[in-house]
A and B are shown apart, each in its own frame.
Chain A
Amino acid sequence: MTKPSAVSDLLNRTRAIVETIVDGVITIDQHGLIDTVNPATEKIFGYSSEEMIGQNVSMLMPNPYRREHDGYINNYLSTGNKKIIGIGREVRGQRKDGTLFPLELAISEMFINGQRMFTGIVRDISERKETEEKLREAEHRVHEQRVKDEFIATVSHELRTPLTSIKASLEILKSNACDGVEGQADALIEIAHKNSERLLLLINDILDISKIESEKMGYRMTSIPLQEFLESAIRDNKSYGEKYQVEFTLGEVPDGIEIYADPDRMMQVMSNLMSNAAKFSPPKSKVEIYALRDGNRTRICIKDYGYGIPQEFHARIFDKFTQADSSDRRQMSGTGLGLNISKGIVEQHNGKLSFTSHQDKGSEFFIDLFDHSQGENYE
C-alpha cells in the first residue's frame, strides 16, 4: 500500500510536470467542457485558466471546427468511431485575440471516478510552419531562378547559332576571300539572308513568350464568325501547305458559331498548328480543319495524317525550345517555341490547347474555346 507521503510526493511531481511542460494540456468532460488547463495552455491561447474552465473547448477552435466540435464528440460517444482520439494531427487553433495558428493536437481518453474524460495535448507549431514556409519559398525562388537561367542560356545559344553563320558569311565576303570562286559569294549571301530570317523569327517568338508570361500581350477581343475565320486560316496558310505538298481542307463547322477572341493572335495559333501539321506530314497528304460544338464549348480541330509525335515526347511538347528531334528545328525552320506560344495565347483566352497523337498515324490538335456569353470564361 502506498504511503500518504508517497501519494503526496507523486501528486506534487505530476503537478510540477503538467505546470512546467511547454505543451498545453487540457482536460475536458464528455460534454466538451474544459475541466483543467495548464499554464502553457494559457500562454498558447491567451486566455486565463478562469476564462477557459467550464467553457466548451470549441472556444479554442476556429469555424468550422468550433461549430462541429460537439458533433465530433457525440458521434464518438454514439458510434465509438475515433476520428482524432489516440491519433495526433495538425489543426488550427484560435487565440483569444482571434488570430489563428497551426497546432499539433493529440487526444487521449481516460476515466476518472467512472467519468469519461478526454486529455488534449496541444503544441503551437507556428514557428515550425513559418520556417517550413520560408524554406518552401526559398526553394521555389531557387527553382524559378534556375528555370530563368536555363532559358537565358538556351536563348543565348539559339541566337548565337544563326548569328555564327551570318557573321562568318559577312566577314568572308568583306575579306574578298571568296573572289574568284564561282558562286561562293552568292551562296554566302544566301546563308546570311536565311539565317537572319531565322534570327528574326526567333526574336519575335522570344518577345511573344515574354509578353505572354508577363501578361502584356494586350488582346483585342471580338466576336469572330468561325466559318469565315477557318476559311481565312486555310487561305492564309495555303502556300505554306503547298511548300510541303500538303492540302488543308475545311470539314464540318456548325452553323452560326462565333468565337470570342483576338483575331490576329488566334490566327497566329492556327498558323502554328497548321504549319506544324504540314511540316510533319508526308507529301500529298491532307490536313483537315473542322469544328465541333459541345455545350458552351467550341472545339477547333487540326488533324493530320503524318508521322505522329513520339510517345516519350508527349509530356514535353508544349515546353520551350523542344522538338521531337532537335534537328527538326533546323530542317523544318522552326524555333521550337511555337507550341509554347500557342498554348499561352489559347490559355489567355481562357481556353485549352490539347492533342492526341499516334506514331505513323498522325496527330490532332484541339483548340477549346468557351462562349463569352456564358460569362466567367472571358475577361
Chain B
Amino acid sequence: MSELKKVLYIEDEPDIRAVAEIALQQIGGLVLKCCASGPEGLESISDFDPQLILLDVMMPGMDGPTVLAHIRENTDYQHIPVVFITAKVQAAEVEDLMKLGAFAVISKPFSPMEIAGQLRDIWKDFCRA
C-alpha cells in the first residue's frame, strides 16, 4: 500500500487555504498544492499528479460538484479519489455529495491538528477498497 504524500486542495476562501497549508503541509507533512478555483485546480492535476484531491463544494463560477464531474469524465484522472471538504454538513447534504461520487466528506470547521491524519485514513480505506 502506497503512502499518501501529494494532495491537491481546491478552495476559494483564501483564509481557509492559508490555514490548510499550515495544517496539511507544515503540521501534517503532506506535499500540498492549493488552487483558488475549479478551473485552476483542473489545470493543475496533470502537472502536480496528486494522489488525492480535497475539494471545496461552494465556489463561485465552477462549484465542487462540477469540478468532480470534470475529473470523472477524464480517463486520466478518474482513478483519483476526491474528498469533499464542506460547511454543508447536514446528513442529506453529505449523502448527496457521496452520491455524486466523492470518496469521503470532511466537514468544516476541521481540526488543523487532525486533518492530515484524517486524509491518511481515507487514503488507506481507498487503497483497501
Contact = CB atoms under 8 A, between A and B. Distances in A.
Contact of B111 (A171, A187, A195): A171
Interface in A161-179: 161, 163-169, 171-172, 175, 177-178
A87 interface: no
A158 B110 CA distance: 15
B27 to A, nearest CB: 5
Nearest to A161: B87
Given A153-B88, A156-B87, A330-B12, A164 B18 contact: no
A259 B26 CA distance: 59
A210 to B, nearest CB: 20
Contacts of B22: 172, 177-178, 184, 188
Contact of B87 (A160, A172, A175): A160
Contact of B16 (A165, A177, A325): A165
A327 B12 contact: yes
Interface string B57-97: 01111000000000000000000000000111110010000
B27 A175 contact: yes
B88 A171 contact: no
Interface in B78-129: 86-90, 93, 108-113
Interface residues of B, number: 28
A171 B112 contact: yes
A168 B109 CA distance: 7
A151 to B, nearest CB: 13
B112 A168 contact: yes
A178 B110 CA distance: 18
Given A157-B58, A164-B110, A168-B109, A177 B12 contact: no
Contact of B60 (A157, A169, A325): A325
B112 to A, nearest CB: 4
B112 A160 contact: no
B3 interface: no
A55 B19 CA distance: 87
A356 interface: no
A326 interface: yes
Nearest to B107: A160
B32 interface: no
A167 B109 contact: yes
B60 A175 contact: no
Given A153-B90, A156-B89, A172 B109 contact: no
A38 to B, nearest CB: 56
Contacts of A160: 87, 89, 108-109
A187 B15 CA distance: 10
Contacts of A184: 22
Contact of A326 (B16, B58, B108): B58
B18 A330 contact: no
A161 B87 CA distance: 6
Interface string A183-200: 010011001001100000
A192 to B, nearest CB: 9
Nearest to B63: A326
A169 B26 contact: no
Contact of B13 (A156, A177, A325, A330): A330
A205 B43 CA distance: 38
A171 B113 contact: yes
B60 A177 contact: no
A158 B61 CA distance: 18
A142 B55 CA distance: 33
A104 to B, nearest CB: 43
Contacts of B88: 153, 156-157
Nearest to A328: B60
A195 to B, nearest CB: 6
B30 to A, nearest CB: 14
A181 interface: yes
Nearest to A167: B109
Contacts of A163: 108-109
Interface of B: 12-16, 18-20, 22-23, 26-27, 58-61, 86-90, 93, 108-113
4 closest residue pairs by CB, A with B = A160-B87, A327-B60, A168-B19, A165-B15
Given A172-B27, A330-B12, 17 more contacts: A156-B87, A161-B87, A164-B13, A164-B19, A164-B108, A165-B13, A167-B111, A168-B19, A168-B23, A168-B109, A171-B112, A175-B112, A177-B22, A177-B27, A177-B113, A184-B22, A191-B18
